[in-house]
Each structure stands twice: as C-alpha cells, then as structure tokens.
Chain A
Amino acid sequence: MADPFDQAFNHRRARFEAETLSLMPAVYRFALRLTRRPEDARDIVQDAYLRAFRTFGNFRPGTNAKAWLFTIVYSVFVNRWHKEQRESGVSVEELENEFPRLLAAEAPAAFRESLSTRPADWAHAEVDAALRRLPEAFRSALLLVDVEELTYEEAAAALGCPVGTLRSRLFRARKALYVALREFAARAGYGPPRPETK
C-alpha cells in the first residue's frame, strides 16, 4: 500500500502547483499592468489562482498552462475590476493617426540611433507610462503577445475576442505605443525633439 504522504503529495494540489506556481511572476506582472495598483493586482492573482485550482479538472495536461491561467486572470479582472475602472487612457485613434505623419517626418532608425540610451536600457517606469496611456483592450493585447509571448490564438482566447480582432488591436496598439514612446523620449530628453508633423 502506498505511503499516505506519497498519495497526498501526488494529489491535485501538488499537480496544480507544479503547473502554475512558476507562472506567478508573469501573472502578477500582467495583473499589475491591468489594474495599475499593486493591492488590486494581489487580489486578482489570488482570485485567479483560487478559481484555477477549483477548475483544475478542466485543464488538459500537456496544453499551455500559461494561456489557460492568463485566460482566468483576464476573466477575473474583467468581472471584478474592469467595471469599476474608468478608462483614463487616451484615444488610441489619436495616437494612431499620428503614426504615419511621424514616420514621414522621421525614420525610426534615425530616432533610434539618436537616442542617448538604447531601448533595451529604458527604465521600466518610462515604458510603463507610455503603456498606461493606451486603453485597456489594446494594452492587454500588447502584454499578452509581446511580453508574455502568447500566440495570437492564445491571446485571443484569453481576451475573449476573435483572432482577427486581436491582430488588429495589436497592430494599432504597437503603432500607438511607438507614438507615445516617441513623445515621451522627446519630453524626457532621450532623443531629438519630436519632429513637427502638422
């Protein structure tokens, strides 16, 4: 007869933790970018893990645990926090409309070369500030694909939208983020003044 502690160790909790605990830094980072407040991110992570544990039977071993868990995190966020928050981001169209004008006035490669610091060295807070300007739907698409490296299909499933919508949001969000970063760099003195586009 098996040792009862061996049985206990092999039970559902252990399997759940083996699948999900290593993902907690990424889950927390995602929750923090969604809520913008550490205390809310903490609650989201806790709720999401609890919900994931309760529904662990639905998870199929061998599939992408990260995509499964992020789907739950986003669902918790939408159900409990999203409704309480008023978007403070700018209109993505406003930034997006600037994109072609900015590109026509200045080559990104030239801007990049002129930076006093490389993009890889940009401080967390600086990119975070630009990211926060984007509406949540666009921010989430960027975070899931560019930071968490989910596929379009996985990110779309997590956000509950068609892949085509995800693709479109991602494209628009990247353009908007570039404009926001360019504006930020100009204000912060990292690069040359922002070219006049009008």
Chain B
Amino acid sequence: MNNEPVHPESEIQELLDGRLSAERGAQIEKHLAECEQCRRQRDALVFARESLRASLPASPAPADVVTGVEMALDREERQTGSPGSVKPVVARRRLGRAAIAAGLAAALALAFVLLRHEGSLPSAAARDFARVRSGRLALAFPTENAGELGSYFVRERLPFRTRVFDLAMMGYRLEGGRVHSLAGRQSALFVYRGADGQLLVCEMYEGTTKDLPRALETRQHNGFDFHIYKQGNRTIVFWQEGSVTCVLVGDGGPEQVIQLAFAKAMKAS
C-alpha cells in the first residue's frame, strides 16, 4: 500500500527551506516533476519568498535610532554602574562589624574607581574609536570634503558649531562623519585615515573639560589645556574650545596624535 500523500503540500515548503532529509527531498522532487499542481504551489511559494527578501533589504538604522540606543545605554551605565562589573557586597553574619565596614569601604572604593572609568568620556571616546576601526560604527555621511561635512552637521541641527578641518597636509584624509553620542552627550563625529591605515577619530560636543577624570598628562599649548589619556595603543586627547569640547583619538603614535590635536586646536582658535 502506498502511503505517499497525494499532494505533499507542507513538505514542499520544507523542501524549499532545506529541512528535509536528502532521501525525503528526492522523493518530493520526484513528485514535483510529475505533478503540475504541486509545481505551481512551489513556484508561488518561491515567488512570495523571493519578493519579500528582495524588497526588504537591510539598510542602516536611522542615526537618531542609533543615538537613542547609545544614550539609553549610557544612562543605564550611569544609573546602575556597569551591570555585572560591581556587585553589592553581601554582609555575612559571621563577619564582625569591623570586617563588614572594611568590606563595604573597599567595595565602595572599587565601585568608585570602576564607575569613574567605565562611564567616563575617555572610555567612551576609546570605545567609539574601536567601533569605527572594526566597522561597527558606520559613517552616515561619507565624504572627503570638510565643507560638505560641516554643512551636513548644520543640516542635522546640532546645537553647537562644528569645525571640520582638512588634515590632508598632515597626511590624514577625511572619510566622513555622523551625528553621534559620546557618553550621553550629542556629538559630531568625524573620521580621518592616514596613508598607512592609521585612524583618527574626532568628536565635538557641548561641555567642558571639567567633566573629565584625571588625565595621564596635561599639556598647555597655544592657550589651550590638552588632557591626554592612553588606552592600549590609542592616544586620547581632549581640549576645550569655548562651550565645545573636542576629543581626538588616534593609533598613529602618541606624540603624533598630540601634535595633531595641537594643530587642530590652533586652527580653531
């Protein structure tokens, strides 16, 4: 007795989705070769799937969606600390009061140190650099033209003036920029690339350098204070221009990044 269904309707779908065994797939293929009705069904399912896939391509999420998520995560980190990195200390009854107090003090000190760095502006700038480097942070406005990028930031209605400089004379080519968020502050982000692949990421945001943690080094140059931080092979330099603070992050060598920051600040002054 033949148990083969007359028209294996749902199995046609399973065949299309690659869910049948080779043996069963061959049986359904054989049936399709002989059955016009099932071939029509298969063609209709393929048509629907193909139309759907072709018409809904992945495109970058709108800039305000990306910024909204980043700001929400920044808020979350500020409110709770980094989840999982600092656990509340659970006092045990066996511990004496002095031990409990000492433990709490140590935990609070640790929490202070971690929170200070994890939610900090230098940490956020370094993270943005890493995301640009890895391609995880896309440029909403790719251009090599500093003027065009400046106009883009005006169109995006940033609440502060941006100044995008051409660093070609210093061996860095502009790649483009985007409206972004640096540790919860709306920022203009732009990216330069050196001839040997060195990356330079600049961000500008409304704020002062008073919000920064203590720097590894602070240098004065041409009337500006430059706050210098290090993260791995990256050098992070902050300075303030009026109501706007700029940060430059680069992996082209500490002194080179610092000198680029000097040059950029000089041009802005």
Give the interface of A toward B (CB within 8 A): 3-9, 11-14, 16-18, 21-22, 24-29, 33, 38, 41-42, 45-46, 49-50, 53-54, 56-57, 99, 102-104, 107-109, 111-112, 119-124, 126-128, 131, 142-143, 145-147, 152, 167-168, 170-171, 174-175, 177-178, 181
Contacts and interface: CB of A to CB of B under 8 A. Distances in A.
A96 B165 CA distance: 60
B54 A122 contact: yes
Given A12-B82, A167-B10, A42 B53 contact: no
A8 B123 contact: yes
Given A3-B231, A174-B13, A45 B52 contact: no
Contacts of B84: 12, 56-57
Given A33-B56, A122-B54, A181-B47, A108 B72 contact: no
B131 interface: yes
A41 B231 CA distance: 36
Contacts of B53: 146-147
Contact of A53 (B57, B83, B130, B137): B83
B222 interface: no
Given A103-B44, A181-B48, A46 B131 contact: no
B76 A4 contact: no
B13 A170 contact: yes
B76 A53 contact: yes
A13 B81 CA distance: 11
Interface string B160-187: 0000000000000000000000000000
Given A4-B113, A12-B82, A42 B47 contact: no
A5 B122 contact: yes
Given A17-B127, A17-B131, A25-B58, A177 B136 contact: no
Q: How big is the B interface, by class?
A: 35 or more
B246 interface: no
A159 B40 CA distance: 30
Interface string B50-63: 11111111111110
B64 interface: yes
B52 A4 contact: no
Nearest to B118: A8
Interface string B218-240: 00000000000111100000000
Contacts of A42: 62, 64-65, 68
Given A4-B113, A53-B76, A9 B231 contact: yes
16 contacts: A6-B231, A12-B82, A12-B84, A12-B85, A13-B82, A18-B136, A21-B136, A53-B76, A53-B83, A103-B44, A109-B43, A122-B54, A127-B56, A146-B53, A167-B10, A181-B48
